[in-house]
Amino acid sequence: MSNTHTRTEVQIPATSSVTDDDDAVLDPEVLGAALLGKWADVRRQARELAGRPELHTIEGLSSAEQRERCFGQLRYLVDHHGVHRGFPSRFGGEDNHGGNVAGFEELVVADPSLQIKAGVQWGLFGSAVLHLGTAAHHAAWLPGIMNLDIPGCFAMTETGHGSDVASIGTTATYQLDTEEFVLHTPYRAAWKDYIGNAAVDGRAAVVFAQLITDGANHGVHAFYLELRDSAGQFKDGIGGEDDGLKGGLNGIDNGRLHFTAVRIPRTNLLNRYGDVAPDGTYSSPITSAGRRFFTMLGTLVQGRVSLDGAAVAVSKLALKTAITYAHERRQFNAGPDLREEVIMDYQRHQRRLLPLLATTFAASFAHEELLEKFDGVFSETTDTDADRQDLETLAAAYKPLSTWHALATLQECREACGGAGFLTENRLTSLRADMDIYATFEGDNNVLLQLVAKRLLADYAKEFQGVDFGVLARYVVSQAAGKTLHRSGLRRMAQTMVDTGSERKSAIALRDERTQHELLSDRVTTMIGDLAAALRGTSHMGHAQAAARFNAHQHELIEAATAHAELLQWEAFTRALHAIADPGTRQVLTWVRDLYGLCLLEKNLAWYLMHGRLSAQRARTLGPYINRLLAKIRPHSLQLVESFGYGPEHVRSTLASGTEKLRQEEAAAYMREQRSQRQSTLR
C-alpha cells in the first residue's frame, strides 16, 4: 500500500552496511545540533528562559498559591518576549509558526502547569481568535490577548462530550430582531467543563456552540464571549464553578461554565469559515458541513503538535536523570574487589532504560519533521487540503505515542532510581502526575489513533479508484496467494532454509536497514489490508450495522494505527541519522536506531511468527542481538543524554547533580581506609 498522503517514503540506500566500528566516538555537539533541528536558535532562547528560577515549579505550594504563581509567570513571559512568535508581525509577533511551537514546548521543563496555562492563553484562546476570526476580530482582541490584558478560555469540551465535538449541546441561536446570538446550555451535560482559566482568571472565552439561524442548525462554530467584569464577577446569565484539586497541573484553574440565554452581538461570531448576515442568512466558503467542521478544528492542531514535543522533552529530562544516576550508583559486589558494581553495567538496567532512550530519539526526530509540516501549512507555503489532512493525521499519530511513552519513561526511570526516585526533589513523581492528563486532552489517545486508522483505510481505498475489474481481480488473487504463502508455512520454510546453520547470519539480516523497514512496513500494509477486507461493504449498510462492524474491529484499527505511527518514527530516525556526517556519531546513532527497530519487532514478535514473516530460528536471534546492542550503546549512554542539551537548571534533580558520585567516593575511601587498618593490624 502506498501511503503517500500520510508519510514521506523513507529513502533507503542501495546497500545497507552492518559493519560495526566498536571504537566509534560520539560527538554530543553534532548529535545535539541534529536534535535541535530547524529552529535551533529559538529552542536555545526558550531553554535559557525556561532555566530561570522565576519560571520554575515550587513544590509544596497549595493549589491557590500555585495558581497565583502560574498566572504571574504568564506576565513574566510577556515581559520577556517568550510567547508571541506565532502572532502577526503587525501586532508585535513574528509570523513564525514553527518557531513559536518549538519555543513554547520547551516551557515544560520549567513547569508543565506554566506550559499548559500559556498554551490555553495563546495557543488555544489566542489562536482561535487569530485563525477562526477575521481582521476586525484581530484588531479588537489580539493586542489584549497578547499582552495579557484579556486572560481567556477555550470553551469547547463539555461534561457530556469531550472528543465528540460535533455533538456538543451548547447552542447559539440567532435573533433577527436584535441581530444577536443567544448562547445557552440547555442541560447539565452541556456545561463547558475542564476549561483552563475558567475557575478564576478568565475574563473572556472562545465558546464553541451549535449555530442555529432560521431554524436550521449549521453545526459547531466559535463565538467570542466576555465572561467577567473588571472585578472578576461573572456577567449576567453566565455561571460556573471550580473543578477543584486535580491529579496534576494544579497551577491551572480549570473550571466549568454555563450560559442561560446570554446575548452577544452578531459580530462576535468568529466568521472566517462561516458567517451570518444581519437578515439571518448563513454563508460559508466551504459548502460541505463536514469539511467545514474539520477545517475549523484543523486550524487548532498546534495543540497536539506542541503536546507531542513537550512529551518528548519530558522523556529526555527523565532519562537524563535516570541514566546519569545509573552511571554513579553502585550496588552489589560481583567480584573479589570491595568496589560495588555501577548499576548501569547490569544488563537488566540497560534493558530498562536504553530501549526507552532509543524510542525518545525516534520520537524527537519524528516531531521535528511534524513541526516542519506544521510550519509549512500555517505559513501557507504548503497549504493545500492534502497538506492540512497530512498534518492532522501526523499529529493524531504522534501525540498518542509520545505522551504514552513519556508516562512509561517517567515510571520506569522512577523505579530505576529506587526510593530516591520517589522523592519530590527529583521531580519524577511530579512530572508523572503533571503529564498524566496529556494522554487524554487535546484528543483522547485512543480516539486519535482511530482517526489515523480511518485515514489509512481511506488511502487504501483510493488505490482502487478508477481501476477496472481485471486489475482488482488480479490484486485479490495476489492477496490470497500471499496469505496462502504465509499461512501455509512456505515462506517460513524458505526463510528457514536460508537461515539454517547460521545464527550470525540471522542476526545480521535483522540488523539490515532494508530488512527492518520491510518488516515494519509489511506489518502495517497487512493489517490495513485485513481491516479493509473485514470492513468491506460498510458504506452500503445502515448506520447501526456499520457502526457495529467498526466496533467489532476497533482494537485492530488502533493497533494498525499504532504500527503505522511507529513505522513513521523509524523512518524519521533513519532520515536523521543519514543526514549526520560525523562517522562516529552516525555509527552510534545507527546502533540506537537498530535498537528501536528491533525492539518493535520483539514487541510484536507473536504477530511476525503467526503471519510467517519470521522463522523461529531468526526470531530466536532477536533477543540476544538486542542484548549485544545494549552492550555497544552502554558506553555512549551518558553522551547520548548529554546531547539533549538540558543543563542542571533544566533537570533540577539531585540524582543527576553528581551527589551520588560523591557519596560513592566517600564510601570507597572509607572502605579502603578500613582495609588498610586491618592489614596493618595483621602485620
CA pair distance 431, 317, nearest whole angstrom: 10
Chain-centre distance for alpha carbon 581: 28
Cell numbers placing 6: 500520510
Instruction: Assess whether 503 and 586 both reside in one domain.
Output: yes
Does 572 lie in the same domain as 673? Answer: no
Q: Could you tell me which of 658, 505, 630 has the C-alpha nearest to residue 18?
A: 505
CA distances from 650 to 51, 56, 296, 363, 624 (A): 5, 9, 36, 20, 36
**pLDDT tens profile 451-491:** 999 999 988 887 655 555 444 444 444 554 455 444 433 44
Distances (CA, A) of 97 to 119, 378, 526: 14, 7, 37
For residue 264 the three cell numbers come to 452577544
Number of domains, the chain: 3
426 in any annotated domain: no
3-state SS class at 67: helix
Given a cut of 70, whether residue 2 has pLDDT beyond it is no
Distance from the first to the final alpha carbon of the chain? 79
Return the pLDDT at 468. 52
- Residue 189: domain span: 156-271
Q: Helical H runs in 51-189?
A: 63-79, 97-105, 112-118, 126-132, 135-146
My answer on whether 637 and 669 are in the same domain is: no
The more confidently predicted of residues 497 and 679 is 679
Torsion of CA 649, 650, 652, 657, to 10 degrees: -70
Q: Which of 210, 239, 271 is the last residue of a domain?
A: 271
Question: Which single residue is written with the C-alpha cell 459580530?
Answer: 267
Taking CA atoms, 678 is separated from 332, 665, 668, 671, in Å, by 22, 20, 15, 11
Express each pLDDT in 648-673 by its tens digit: 999 999 999 988 888 888 887 888 78
Query: CA–CA separation, 304 vs 325, rounded Å?
Result: 32
Sheet holding 255-259, edge to edge: 192-195, 255-259, 238-242
| Whole-angstrom distance, CA of residue 422 vs CA of residue 432 | 11
Same domain, 525 and 573: yes
pLDDT in tens, 381-434: 987 888 999 999 999 999 999 999 999 999 999 999 999 999 999 999 999 999
Structural domain contains residue 61: no
**Between 648 and 443, whose confidence is greater?**
648
pLDDT band, residue 503 (cuts 50/70/90): low
Same-domain status, 627 and 493: yes
Looking at every residue in the chain, the average pLDDT score rounds to 89
Q: Which amino acid is at 355?
A: P
Pair 618, 517 in one domain: yes
Shared domain for 478 and 571, answered yes or no, is yes
Q: How confident is the model at residue 296 (pLDDT cuts 50, 70, 90)?
A: confident
pLDDT in tens, 538-593: 878 888 888 888 899 999 999 999 999 999 999 999 999 999 999 999 999 999 99
* Whether 667 and 635 share a structural domain: no
CA quadruple 438, 442, 445, 449: dihedral positive or negative? negative
The three-point CA angle 183-186-190 to 5° equals 90
Res 465: pLDDT: 57
Report how far apart, in Å, the C-alpha atoms of 539 and of each of 461, 492, 523 are: 12, 37, 26
**Percent residues over pLDDT 90 in the chain:** 73
Task: Pick the more confident residue, 102 or 498.
Answer: 102
Same domain, residue pair 629 and 675: no
Distance CA 157, CA 163 (A): 8
Q: Which of 54, 93, 56, 57 is nearest to 76 (CA)?
A: 54
Better-predicted residue by pLDDT, 135 or 333: 135
Amino acid at position 415, single letter: E
R_g (Cα) of the chain, nearest Å: 28
Q: Could you tell me the pTM of the whole model? A: 0.92
Examine the fold and report which residue of 250, 271, 292 is the final residue of a domain before the chain moves on.
271
* Residue 326 main-chain phi, psi, to 5 deg: -65, -25
How large is the average pLDDT for residues 154-172?
94
- Give the mean pLDDT of 266-287: 96
* Helix boundaries (H) for 379-489: 385-416, 428-435, 445-462, 469-487
Half-sphere exposure of 624 (CA within 13 A, CB side): 10
In the block, residue with C-alpha cell 537498530? 594
Number of neighbours of residue 44 by Cβ within 10 angstroms: 14
> Could you tell me if 591 and 670 lie in one domain?
no
The pLDDT assigned to 463 comes to 67
Any domain includes 559:
yes
530 pLDDT above the threshold of 80: yes
Q: Which of 560, 561, 307 is nearest to 434 (CA)?
A: 307
3-state SS, 254-322, equals CEEEEECCEEEEHHHECCCCCEECCCCCEECCCCCHHHHHHHHHHCCCHHHHHHHHHHHHHHHHHHHHH
- In this structure, the answer to whether residues 512 and 607 fall within a common structural domain is yes
Q: Which residues pair with 360 in a beta bridge?
A: none
Indicate if 597 and 671 belong to the same structural domain.
no
Q: Grid coordinates in use for 408?
A: 512509561
pLDDT reading at 367 higher than 60: yes
* pLDDT score, position 29: 96
Can you give the pLDDT at residue 501? Answer: 46
Tell me which amino acid residue 76 is: Y
CATH of the domain at 526: 1.20.140.10
- Output phi, psi for 86, to 5 deg: -85, -5
pLDDT band at 203; cut points 50, 70, 90: very high
In tens, the pLDDT along 94-123 reads 999 999 999 999 999 999 999 999 999 999
Residues in the chain: 683
Q: Is residue 127 part of a domain?
A: no
Structural domain contains residue 592:
yes
Give the CATH number of the domain where residue 244 resides.
2.40.110.10
260, HSE (Cβ side, Cα atoms, 13 Å): 8
Check residue 538 and report its DSSP letter. G
Which contacts of 175-180 are long-range, i.e. CB under 8 A and separated by 24 or more positions?
175/263, 176/214, 176/279, 176/280, 178/263, 179/265, 179/266, 179/278, 180/263, 180/264, 180/265, 180/266
Give the pLDDT score at 667. Answer: 81
Rounded Cα distance between 64 and 201, Å, is 12
Interval 313-362: pLDDT, tens: 999 999 999 999 999 988 887 666 667 788 999 999 999 999 999 999 99
260, 234 contact by CB (below 8 A): no
- At 492, the amino acid letter reads R
Q: What is the rounded distance in angstroms from the CA atom of residue 24 to the CA atom of residue 427?
A: 34
Q: What is the pLDDT of residue 472?
A: 45
From 247, 271, 295, the end of a domain falls on: 271
